[in-house]
Structure 1
């Protein structure tokens, strides 16, 4: 075991557990704790990170206890997810129980933590009696507690609700307020009308989905605020007093060429209206409150003593998954970290840049570099956790070989990154950008090699799938999907024959892949648990179904009818809406309901009236089944069957409790998908995205490498680089702007390697990698991960003769 004290390194090896040796061991532990203000664990997948953090928690707890002013609130541990928070609490309590029982493991932990059997009993009792003070929380949970604690100082109500996303109802209320105000502001109504025209002109199909588009785009702006500080600078241009002047000189042609102006002007007005709605309804939107807290703690450090009065005087902070922390979260907690270190206390964190797969949510692994530079005057201990306690020997070997080979082979690495970032483009600043990208890649994958602890070999199977020519009438992509389904089915049948179906996971890139695979495997007789079942409110089919139910409950609800018609449950539905819009433009006063009755009588009678008639004699659940059959949903929406069946099961359960249609509509509006938990049925096949699989492990992992990536575009046409913001098309940007554009793109491409690493390291016994043999054609141009793997594999061929791939 290696211990660091300032710049010297101490080695301690013990074969006999003598009293003298134990005392020396404990002294060294205490010296370590006192000397290293900052401890950073570089924790690869399966390296025992939670174990180490739990040990550090107990060491610090023991240190606090010795001072005689013991309080659980004095120690804070921060995690990224609720699951991780629960696991760390469970691990800490388990360690204390082992120490108290003095098992073999417990004796070792006594040596490692300095906690005796008697002290373990006291600490366990303290935890159970004061569990609310056991501060192991997600970062957002901690910051929210902080925000509530400072509500008086910040001038906010104490009984607010937190919203993690902009609900449609809130947007509607804010938009209604905005349209009311438009009648009083010259130019604003004209702007809003032209904005709607702009949206319709840029849609491939006319859809009554403008409101949802606004929600999505406004959400993007709020997300940018949470981790792009430069974004605030450009918004200053669009403050209300300046926007009103812009509106007075409103030029439809000039603004319509630059849609971001529409969004930034709209954002300025809508944000004010949203805040009015939030204040009235005592709501806080997560995109705003963290920024407010961050600014308050940075600008007013005098808040820090109040934090300690209300939340406890911190003696140490432990932080998990540092690479997933976003900039606003970090800036909110940084003043507290600074204060802790200034008082010669301890900050411990675990980080693994190669598992950074949440950059799209603002996660920034490079905050760690800034942190180490900022606090370089403090004693810092960086420890690489080099063992793998999760995976079989051959899986560890495979990952060592695969990722270290890319990292060490400059020619391969450069070729891959150049193709991903630039394609065939030639630009002047390419070398400068590529140098930065290579540097970031090397930092991500600096520590890849692990030593396998398990003694079973396991297996890695790379299956290259050749597209079959006999699948006539299908597109190349559909042929590949059919091929992957067939291969997955063969693997599952083989495992079933071996009676080894326990704990299998299929990892995919997107939620829609989950739905399609789930429906397929269910039809083949397998029990399936898909993580997207927990997201049924995002299903277009379910939203369309729900709109129809709302209309059936109140036949004058035109918004519900429009929502139903926009769902394309039958071919002419969008055409009905298009015709209705044309009627409204020429001044028709017909309501949508009357319009459909008059212009489409056959549709109204055969579908709408028929369902209304059925409603009179069918139970609520039977009515839903009738709708499914009426619109042939199982046939038409086969890719969304998993959502449909889950929705119907919720309705059935609701009707068992005596609920009717009207009660269900109210229930569904308030329904939280958090009420649904992933069942812990080991015999069911788990299908989930790699993002959701992070931190989990499975005996068998099937990973189809057929990920279609979106073409990179900068959100709302804004580029952030070196403290500045640039606007415009990539081709029109100055060199600095182009560098920023390509570096932002490079981040998304580097994350593909991180996704591969996370996917490959979930397996305990067997890892199946399915690689379709795709051609370099337009059909497969965006399947970059498939090409990455094939290229690396071809380079590795000569060096893997003794290793099965």
Structure 2
């Protein structure tokens, strides 16, 4: 029987997009040969991002065009004809017709994101879903939550109603955790929980009112006190039992059982109440005493063992209940506030006729859970015969189940393809569940589907598993490293999740070569990062200098956006050009932040936070010399603060500024603050300009708007520049880069998530669902299994993230992390940090695999560097002022300002390109009135003496193309100006010459080495560096 449900388990670099593009073309050809040139319109390819959809469309069009021109690109002709009886010419002719038809009917080529397809389905039967025909689709969650949160906060009452009590409790719980006490910021962050697919059922179960939550809180507080009392009574009871039975600490192994009841349970430190892991294990195994214990003591303990075990089990039961109540109570304010926000969100959406993609998925899922698949076909108005689904591991439960009725029905008509890689599942926080890919052809978490049995039977009937096990991306050493690394580290996962890495080993296509370099660095959290950053700069400079790579060949993959900013700023400081949509946020610029703080101060002079930030900036940038702690003591006094500004030569004339238009005010403020404009300031001004188009344009509203946008507004840089790319690992998914660097230790990974639990069977049923902190404290609660599951999934998330990162590399892979802890405990390897994964692979570093001696791919060296040059902001009033004097209008060389003999000497030598120019140049300078003096005759003698040296004359003959005093612009905006550059006319030799008139210094050598490095970055390899000290001896120093 033909198997039409073709599933492909893939690995990174295996050519998933290529395979799907080929499959799309083969299906289109099949339809064409059966008389339907429009058959491609019966195929739907689904991806998960607009970029991926565009890439697949481009691939399909490109390959069809190649075939129509009778060209075979990427071996596509072979892959189309190998399983068919098609002749080459037949394929060429068919492709020509299909290509032509698609070009004239491009909108019928169905390659879509899953969200776009879902929206199309919903609009086809919106009436049945109870949706109005003119609803607004809102994709930005914040645009819904901001007005909802603002309205809720406006209802806080000083009288202490239920809402106010819970919100105050929410704020205080955040303060206790050492977090931000800005309630609006907290609520906006926290509200993201409302848009996670997996929490819908928990919301549905929980219908409690605000008053109910107050009652639950009080009930739990009382219950905790009762349980604490019971535990103390048990402690007292067991202590008496020990006394009555003459049992002492020495009767028990290490005395831990005795101490638990006699000492620890009497403490107010609740964490000490929990038996140690060793004690738990001993009691489970019936081990009460050591092997060397006297027999009489053994007999005495054995006699009491049953009763002692009962006491222990009573304690465990009480502790489990006690800590369960405590963990729920910790989050009771968050839970109540979140559910209240959800109610208000739904009300706001209904009142404003707003729908979201999540609503669509939810409503479709409710229908397909109870309706046959034919119902959806009637509403769509068109029927696909084939479905091609990419990146299946990132599909959510609802998304997959909503596609099922369509895909299952299509299996009777032809093949459908699903491609995925569980190892690249890194979007669990967004609803992706890779487990459902592993469970195919079974339907994962499908207990609510009415058609579950029917659909599973059809899927199973047509199911065929294929493996894509070749790696077309990475060189051999990188593939081998990844094969070995993940074979060892996969054993960290529990058995169910290890299936993700089953058959993960890949076969090498790019034989020979490749480099893997793994190194660990000592130091505290800050120091080891600095060393890694220095190492990154050295590697980039070395490889670019040696012409092995361009800047754009390097990509640095970080764990968080915060680390992206850290790396981006460090590289820019070291004159390395950078491209990063995440690292170049406007809010990462200290100048932009300083400007915002000044605006905060203008808006509210009594904003102490703004004052403190301003003073900190002035101190850090050495605009004021006073010690920071002394300056901070003056902040509360407004007059003293203004004196600080005056001492820093900053005058803020609020009255004058507020009279200007908003955009002019910002420009004038930049001038008044003497902020040197750079690319961040330029883009910030663009942001201000766009905002200033609003009718309601004023400072308070702008500051609110900036708070909303500051984590999104970034420098926009065109693709293709010769610059190092820096991005988070999540952003890198699906991409490939020549050289990949993975830095740091991922200690900033957010491991402590909140997790939802089903509490309907606990606490006498008064709380159907709850939100708890994911921490080891849950091990001693009703929710220990939930915690274990969450811990395993978090470890999988981090391992998958590392897999995605290491498999992006084509030629070179660098991993730089923190040295191992000195005292490594058993749980160290499960931490999920980068170095804990490395420890599981090997315990001795640095590690090198392969080398740099491999043939580089041919590439054209491009030097379009990203310029971050600083410049002074010009006042437009000065720019358009009328100039009256001739010296302002004409470019008259005021040589009287250059009487310094060294400068004049440089100027004359710059004008002498070849030897025969010497006399003419000297005469021209001598004829100028300002040089008709004794000092010029000395210069003339020096020049004549200079050209007596044969070693110097060879640099002034006609074998060279000469450039003097020409600027070389570096990526940072810094310029280098060598005195003399010579390019040999018949070879690739380049000579860079610098003249010096004083004593030899080390900095002279550093300067000319910088010139040479700049030339090397421009593609010149054979560079000679020459220092000439112009004096009586004319010393020539070649480096």
TM-score range, shorter chain: 0.7 to 0.9
Asked whether the equivalents of residues 592 and 681 of structure 2 are also in contact (C-alpha less than 8 Å), the reply is no
Report the CA distance shift for 1:135/1:490 in structure 2 as closer, same or farther (over 3 A).
Answer: same
Q: 2:747 aligns with which of 697, 708, 718?
A: 708
**TM superposition shift of 1:299:** 3.2
Q: Does 1:173 align with 2:144?
A: no
Which position in structure 1 is the counterpart of 2:404? 334
Q: 1:146 aligns with which of 105, 118, 121?
A: 121
Deviations 1:642-669 (A, max 9, x none): xx96652223446789967976977977
Q: Does 1:364 align with 2:433?
A: yes
Asked whether the equivalents of residues 472 and 508 of structure 2 are also in contact (C-alpha less than 8 Å), the reply is yes
Report the 3-state secondary structure (helix = DSSP H, G, I; strand = E; otherwise coil) of the residue aligned with 2:525.
helix
Report the CA distance shift for 1:93/1:786 in structure 2 as closer, same or farther (over 3 A).
Answer: same
Asked whether the equivalents of residues 386 and 449 of structure 1 are also in contact (C-alpha less than 8 Å), the reply is yes
**TM superposition shift of 1:490:** 0.7
> Which has the larger displacement, 667-676 or 701-710?
667-676
Which position in structure 2 is the counterpart of 1:420? none
How many residue pairs end up in the alignment?
A: 689
Which position in structure 2 is the counterpart of 1:448? 504
**TM superposition shift of 1:47:** 0.9
Report the CA distance shift for 1:598/1:387 in structure 2 as closer, same or farther (over 3 A).
Answer: closer
**TM superposition shift of 1:335:** 2.7
Report the CA distance shift for 1:318/1:542 in structure 2 as closer, same or farther (over 3 A).
Answer: farther
Which position in structure 2 is the counterpart of 1:318? 388
Q: Distance in 2 between matches of 1:548 and 1:111?
A: 68
Q: Does 1:93 align with 2:67?
A: no
Report the CA distance shift for 1:58/1:733 in structure 2 as closer, same or farther (over 3 A).
Answer: same
Report the CA distance shift for 1:398/1:648 in structure 2 as closer, same or farther (over 3 A).
Answer: same
Which position in structure 1 is the counterpart of 2:682? 649
Superposition RMSD in Å? 4.5
Relative to the length of structure 2, the TM-score reads 0.58
After superposition, residues 562-641 of structure 1 pair within 5 angstroms as: 565=610, 568-570=613-615, 600-603=638-641, 610=652, 612-613=654-655, 615=657, 624=666
After superposition, residues 381-392 of structure 1 pair within 5 angstroms as: 381-392=464-475
Relative to the length of structure 1, the TM-score reads 0.74
Q: Distance in 2 between matches of 1:253 and 1:601?
A: 52
Asked whether the equivalents of residues 166 and 336 of structure 2 are also in contact (C-alpha less than 8 Å), the reply is no
Report the CA distance shift for 1:197/1:693 in structure 2 as closer, same or farther (over 3 A).
Answer: closer
Asked whether the equivalents of residues 73 and 311 of structure 1 are also in contact (C-alpha less than 8 Å), the reply is no
Asked whether the equivalents of residues 719 and 725 of structure 1 are also in contact (C-alpha less than 8 Å), the reply is yes
> Which has the larger displacement, 49-58 or 143-152?
143-152
**TM superposition shift of 1:395:** 1.5
Q: 1:134 aligns with which of 96, 103, 109?
A: 109
Report the 3-state secondary structure (helix = DSSP H, G, I; strand = E; otherwise coil) of the residue aligned with 1:794.
coil
**TM superposition shift of 1:494:** 0.3
Greater RCO (CA < 8 Å, at least 6 residues apart): 1
Which position in structure 2 is the counterpart of 1:756? 802
> Which has the larger displacement, 670-679 or 751-760?
670-679
Asked whether the equivalents of residues 799 and 832 of structure 2 are also in contact (C-alpha less than 8 Å), the reply is no
Report the CA distance shift for 1:707/1:183 in structure 2 as closer, same or farther (over 3 A).
Answer: closer
After superposition, residues 359-758 of structure 1 pair within 5 angstroms as: 359-374=428-443, 375=456, 377-407=460-490, 413=491, 417=492, 437-467=493-523, 476-499=524-547, 500-501=549-550, 502-533=552-583, 536=586, 549=599, 555=603, 565=610, 568-570=613-615, 600-603=638-641, 610=652, 612-613=654-655, 615=657, 624=666, 647-653=680-686, 679-710=718-749, 712-715=751-754, 718=757, 731=777, 737-758=783-804
Q: 1:290 aligns with which of 361, 386, 395?
A: 361
Larger Rg: 2
**TM superposition shift of 1:452:** 1.9
Report the CA distance shift for 1:715/1:400 in structure 2 as closer, same or farther (over 3 A).
Answer: same
**TM superposition shift of 1:344:** 4.5
Q: Distance in 1 between matches of 2:335 and 2:360?
A: 20
Q: Distance in 2 between matches of 1:438 and 1:320?
A: 27
Q: Distance in 1 between matches of 2:144 and 2:643?
A: 35
Q: Does 1:789 align with 2:763?
A: no
After superposition, residues 117-266 of structure 1 pair within 5 angstroms as: 117-167=92-142, 170-175=144-149, 177-178=151-152, 187-192=161-166, 194-195=168-169, 198-199=172-173, 201-202=175-176, 204=178, 207=181, 209-223=182-196, 226-228=197-199, 230-232=201-203, 235-240=204-209, 243-246=210-213, 251=218, 254=221, 258-266=329-337
**TM superposition shift of 1:206:** 6.5
Report the CA distance shift for 1:734/1:512 in structure 2 as closer, same or farther (over 3 A).
Answer: closer
5+ residue gaps, structure 2: 223-325, 444-455, 618-633, 763-767, 853-1039
Asked whether the equivalents of residues 569 and 631 of structure 1 are also in contact (C-alpha less than 8 Å), the reply is no
**TM superposition shift of 1:128:** 1.7
Which position in structure 2 is the counterpart of 1:111? 81
Deviations 1:109-162 (A, max 9, x none): 551575722321221122222222221112222212222333222222344444
Q: Distance in 2 between matches of 1:441 and 1:306?
A: 35
**TM superposition shift of 1:353:** 1.2
Report the 3-state secondary structure (helix = DSSP H, G, I; strand = E; otherwise coil) of the residue aligned with 1:40.
strand
Asked whether the equivalents of residues 533 and 646 of structure 1 are also in contact (C-alpha less than 8 Å), the reply is no
Report the CA distance shift for 1:297/1:506 in structure 2 as closer, same or farther (over 3 A).
Answer: same
Q: Compare the two structures and name the one with the higher helix fraction.
A: 1
Asked whether the equivalents of residues 323 and 352 of structure 1 are also in contact (C-alpha less than 8 Å), the reply is yes
